[in-house]
Amino acid sequence: MSSFAPPADLAGATALYVEVQHFYGRQMRHLDEGEIQQWADTFTEDGVFTANAHPKPQEGRAAIVEGALAAHRKLADQGIRRRHWLGMLQVAEQPDGTIRADSYAIVLAIPAGGQAAVELSCSCADVLVRDGAGLRVRHRSVRRDDLPPR
């Protein structure tokens, strides 16, 4: 964790930390609301999504759309809504200008007319880049805490 040293530019570090929180709020809402194209647009065109629960990485926006659509349809068929929470955030600007953002994730599952429950606990390691006015994910690695690291 030595990369998360205290920042020289306090105001800038404060603004960036909040910006990443804001970004995640917007990004995960897109996924949870089934706005899959907008979800995919929060990744760079060549963005990569890798997870210890997936057999192989999703490489590029088209693959990310495909994966999210399949998951969303399956949940819709089951009448289940998901809510993704990211928290316990660590943010650090890297020497190459990218932003490393590490977070904990909780996935809640809420069946229509049923009992909400924790479905999954994960750790999420992102490489974010600034693209125009906003942030995008260039690389995301999600580790489900119940599964061994890949």
CB of 59 to its own copies, least distance (A): 26
Q: In this structure, how many other beta carbons lie within 10 angstroms of the beta carbon of residue 114?
A: 10
Q: Is 91 or 142 the residue whose CB approaches its own copies more closely?
A: 91
Which residues would be at the binding site for its own copies (CB under 8 A)?
A: 1, 4-6, 10-11, 13-15, 17-19, 21-22, 24-26, 28-30, 35, 38, 81, 83-91, 102-104, 106, 108, 110-121, 133-134, 145-148
Q: Are 23 and 43 in contact (CB under 8 A)?
A: no
Q: Is the Cβ of residue 28 or residue 48 nearer to its own copies in the bound state?
A: 28
Q: Residue 46 CA to chain centroid, in angstroms?
A: 16
Nearer to its own copies, 21 or 50 (CB): 21
Pairing of strands 117-131, 99-111: antiparallel
Give the containing element (helix H, strand E) for 83.
Answer: strand 80-93
Q: How far is the CB of 106 from its own copies (least distance, A)?
A: 7
CB closer to its own copies, 38 vs 50: 38
Q: Name the minimum Å distance from CB 150 to its own copies.
A: 15
Minimum separation from the CB atom of position 91 to its own copies (A): 7
CA pair distance 102, 94, nearest whole angstrom: 13
Q: How far is the CB of 69 from its own copies (least distance, A)?
A: 19
Q: Which residue, 24 or 43, is less far from its own copies as judged by CB?
A: 24
